[in-house]
Chains A and B, each alone.
Chain A
């Protein structure tokens, strides 16, 4: 037998134009934040990438005040068609600087360059383009003849899709005439700050977009600020609950995009090979750092044996390692605490009696990595079936009938997404109507489009992002 190893094919890190230091963006300029600077790390090496200035409570006040001023004096009164020009310009530059942004995202986040290049950056640009198109057509969105912006938006975004989540917040907020104060995640602030630079280069009026790096305290200061009209949060369910408590009774609007424990239901009449690919995509895309990840596989008992054999063989082909290598399928875990959490939850799976299987792929000697892992023999009561692991760990349950599949799929506090695999259209629709999840994919998984609303039920949050419906959260109609 011939052996054929793929030689390393690393993308050049120099393309990221990494600077030694980054600063908060307030009122149209980069300023020295009053907070303690933080170091952002490359999770693939655990080496520092850059020093990032953070915001103090005073900076938050200044940013909110600047956003208010810009909203009242410039951006709010500006005709939609004018706002669109700025957004189109930003969207274009994101597309033009795609390679740089992809490499920077991969360095800061640890996700494979294949994904930042082929998914994150193009989708971010697509969201900006999509919303730019809405800016002068809001009266036709079906939300009343003359919807008005809500005002100043405070947005806090997570570390799993740093640039994409920034675009998801900035696009609709600005298109609808709002101004925004954005807090990127502590571990992945860089691409949001480059996006601020792009906005400044595009001539976006000062104060319309403000970006405040920092940890949870800065996030708390932003979402709790009484100068805001709306808060948009994407992140963990625990933090989301706290924000909701904090905002209760203030009259400020809130949308929450929280965790998930999605079921991927594979019926025995599914296109098996594509279902295997979809399950792999569902859980190992972005190392499983995806709130809508298909982390619970529900496979019909009659095909369990065959399906698991194919699935394990397919997972064995995944290449784990240097995120900058174009042939890497699974990159680094974003932070040490996240890796610890994955290790702990996997240990809970062992302790509760599930059977652990791990891909035999070699892992890099340094950096934060976790091998693709599958737990079989999982029961509903186990932590690996109930808690969001947010890592490359798949829990496998079985079912006998469609009703049992629905019951198990819905037996979770979450409700963000679900996948259905069957060649029968009627069965797919029957299932989709009964699964309580905001997004249901049939014969595919983890597909994003700016025109398709995204959002959850129950502990996965409320509100929708994307599409016509997504505009509602940013408009007074």
Chain B
């Protein structure tokens, strides 16, 4: 293996705890393979127990609002148009027009060429604009194209960039290449927040999820994200648990808070609440904020709003009573 870890030779853009780990390809490999293993039976068992937490009444209402405020409301289709994006942005600002006390979502997530439309539509709302970049969702293009893609989104005003890692490089063990690419994209982001998509459904098990999480954190990811939403399985509770452990361990080692974004496959309020329980109990209550935990979803918001009305009004509202986008 001749690749060397080129950029900066610093972990997370800083000298310190992990400078040795990222010195060269071999060190990086040794470090990632030296992380504690994940026992798949155990992690799934814990996830099953977390899923049995009963969240009712006030804590449910609170959880529903919290979940709304953590959503990256997403549209990532080939058929996306400025009109579609504007209507999504309107919903992001004011998710439930009849209930103005519902918080706005955290961000709207679109393809880079539509980031400008979203920026315009969300002006003054406090809702951030996230754009997927780096040849999303496959990541199969040249470094130059990926960086240009990122630049396009940043120039259009996106303040959050969701990049995909090169799963091919990761699976063949070229960790240095993945590291370098994240570092390069992070640089291209400027002041924009970088979310690194691991696409866990394409990785080989929980050990890989842990390694990919650390690799992204070492390279400076502000947030590690499960999936593109284009591959199944996506954000499962055990996978999110392993990623939450990674940011918790990163915090223990460095004192810094990095975030997690659970994306793909979370469609119901019940599912979202289970993830919040995991955030609360695995990483800790400090992560229960939109800065450190996000849901990437397109249809979750509707169920959250309907469940919220159910809590307040005692019956489940049909879809047409809530302004969908």
Contact = CB atoms under 8 A, between A and B. Distances in A.
Q: Do A and B come from one complex?
A: yes
A3 B58 contact: no
B234 to A, nearest CB: 22
Interface in A245-288: 269-274, 277-278
Contacts of B245: 273
A118 interface: yes
Interface residues of A, number: 26
A465 B260 CA distance: 46
Contact of B59 (A1, A4, A309): A4
Interface of A: 1-7, 9, 114, 118, 269-274, 277-278, 309, 313, 317, 326-327, 423, 443-444
B315 interface: no
B285 A2 contact: yes
Contacts of A277: 42, 45-46
A274 B43 CA distance: 6
B252 interface: yes
B52 A4 contact: no
A444 B41 contact: yes
A4 B288 contact: yes
A7 B58 contact: yes
Query: Helix, strand, loop or mixed for chain B's interface?
Result: helix
Nearest to A443: B39
Contact of A4 (B38, B43, B46, B62): B62
12 contacts: A1-B286, A2-B288, A4-B280, A6-B53, A7-B56, A269-B36, A271-B42, A273-B43, A274-B38, A277-B45, A278-B42, A423-B37
Given A6-B54, A7-B58, A443-B41, 12 more contacts: A1-B286, A2-B66, A4-B62, A7-B55, A118-B52, A269-B37, A271-B37, A274-B38, A277-B42, A277-B46, A313-B284, A444-B45
B45 A1 contact: no
Contacts of B59: 4-7
A4 B42 contact: no
Contact of A7 (B39, B60, B276, B281): B60
B36 A270 contact: yes
B54 A9 contact: yes
Contacts of B39: 271, 274, 423, 443
A1 B37 contact: no
Interface of B: 36-39, 41-43, 45-46, 52-60, 62-63, 66, 245, 252, 276, 280-281, 284-286, 288-289
Nearest to A306: B252
Contacts of A274: 38-39, 41-43, 46
A2 B54 CA distance: 19
A442 to B, nearest CB: 10
A1 B285 contact: yes
A443 B276 CA distance: 27
Given A1-B288, A271-B36, A6 B55 contact: yes
Contacts of A4: 59, 62-63, 66, 276, 280, 285, 288
B62 A273 contact: no
B33 to A, nearest CB: 11
A423 B46 CA distance: 18
Contacts of B42: 271, 273-274, 277-278, 443-444
A-B pairs, top 3 by smallest CB distance, nearest first, are A274-B42, A9-B54, A271-B39
Contacts of B252: 309
Instruction: Tell me which of B38, B39, B56, B59 has the highest count of chain A C-beta atoms within 10 A of its own C-beta.
Output: B39
Nearest to B286: A1
A355 to B, nearest CB: 21
Contacts of A278: 42
A283 to B, nearest CB: 16
B263 to A, nearest CB: 21
Contacts of A118: 52
A7 to B, nearest CB: 4
Contacts of B62: 4
Nearest to A424: B37
A5 B60 CA distance: 10
Instruction: Tell me which of B37, B46, B53, B289 has the highest count of chain A C-beta atoms within 10 A of its own C-beta.
Output: B37
B289 A9 contact: no
A274 B49 CA distance: 13
Contacts of A317: 281
A9 B56 contact: yes
Nearest to B43: A274
B184 to A, nearest CB: 32
A155 B55 CA distance: 42
Contacts of B54: 6, 9, 326-327
Nearest to A313: B284
Contacts of B284: 313
Contact of B38 (A7, A273, A326): A273
A9 B273 CA distance: 15
A183 B280 CA distance: 44
Contacts of A9: 54-56
Nearest to A329: B49
Contacts of A272: 36
Contacts of B57: 7
A274 to B, nearest CB: 3
B52 A326 contact: yes
A6 B36 CA distance: 31
Contacts of A1: 285-286, 288-289
A14 B56 CA distance: 20
Contacts of B285: 1-4
Contacts of B60: 7
Contacts of B36: 269-273
A315 B289 CA distance: 23
A114 B41 CA distance: 20
A28 to B, nearest CB: 39
